[in-house]
Structure 1
Amino acid sequence: MSTTMDPTARDTYAAPRDTAHGASRPVAQGPATRVAIALLVAATLAIAVAYASAFRTAGPPGWAAWLLATGVPLALVGVMVLGAARAGRLPGTLGAAFALVGLMLAGGFCLALALPAAGAGETEPLLLGLPRRAAIIVYGVGLLPVFVLPAAYALTFDAQTLRDEDLARVREAAVSWRAGRRERA
């Protein structure tokens, strides 16, 4: 049976450390990582408050939809930043692309909420073959980011992929880990 770590014992857990570029620091200490975590916390709180407001006896207030319309894009941008940050940093091109996508998503959701409803007996005007609100969500929220994000990742591909020295470091760590497992077995 393998040994298990006791998370309650003192000094048995060391936070993961990033040794890239000759520095040893906790992994989650870069500015991009801190921003991403702050975005995720703010988004989670906004979404939680919006969902909790649905339990009111009078029904959800009008502002709940607006919290969701801004909280969901914040969460998506936070996850994108967290996933793309390398050693806690994010290339400026990706930061600008993520901000643009976040604005497109929030703008699309908010615009769909802000449009006046069609009156009784009136038909909803069509936009590119769909009712206005559906067109904004499908084209603005669903389709436009498909053009922005791949272009941003293509522009930063060389900087974001593993370099030869990174790959060698991963291979050395795997060999060391396997050797340690054999010794313990």
Structure 2
Amino acid sequence: MRPSQQMRDLGIVQYGAPVLRDPAHPFTLPDERETIDDVVGQLLHVMERIRRAHDFYGKGLGLAAPQIGIGRSAAVVQPPESAPIVLLNPRITDSSEDRDERYEGCLSFFDVRAQVPRPLWITVETMTAVGSTEKVVYERGEARLIAHEIDHLGGLLLMDRMRPGVRPVPVEEYRGTAEATGRPWSYE
């Protein structure tokens, strides 16, 4: 079974679906608390099914609501060995000028991996379920995961972030790279 078919069977919307290109609708907080709880609950449920089916090699896992067919501005990121990070109406307000280019995968077209430049740190403004605003700085691997999911909420896919001339590689080819070692991303 192709990796993309496996993700489709687990409930992940695949590349080509319009919901992946439409900007997600923000929540009105705190008025939509029940809707938020429902959407975040669905994201966590699907992430658990994905974790049981696939090993993410210590690089973490993220899922945005559009990837499960919900056009709302919510995402959950699960960094390796850390608690899940819930993002509601998130936006990047600042980022480092320094960039790092690493392979990324996307559950919505899991047959390929692509080298994507991302900032080494980002500042993210997000809402809490009660309507307050938080700003958090994320670095390195967490910054990469979170930026990828925020892109999904804006209708952007990782190929939109690739440098001109860079093409995705089939997952079978990626498995032969140094980054496919089963170790977390190294930023040393």
- TM-score interval for Structure 1 and Structure 2 normalised by the shorter chain: under 0.3
TM-score by structure 1 length? 0.26
Which protein has the larger Cα radius of gyration, Structure 1 or Structure 2? 1
TM-score by structure 2 length? 0.25
Structure having the higher helix fraction is 1
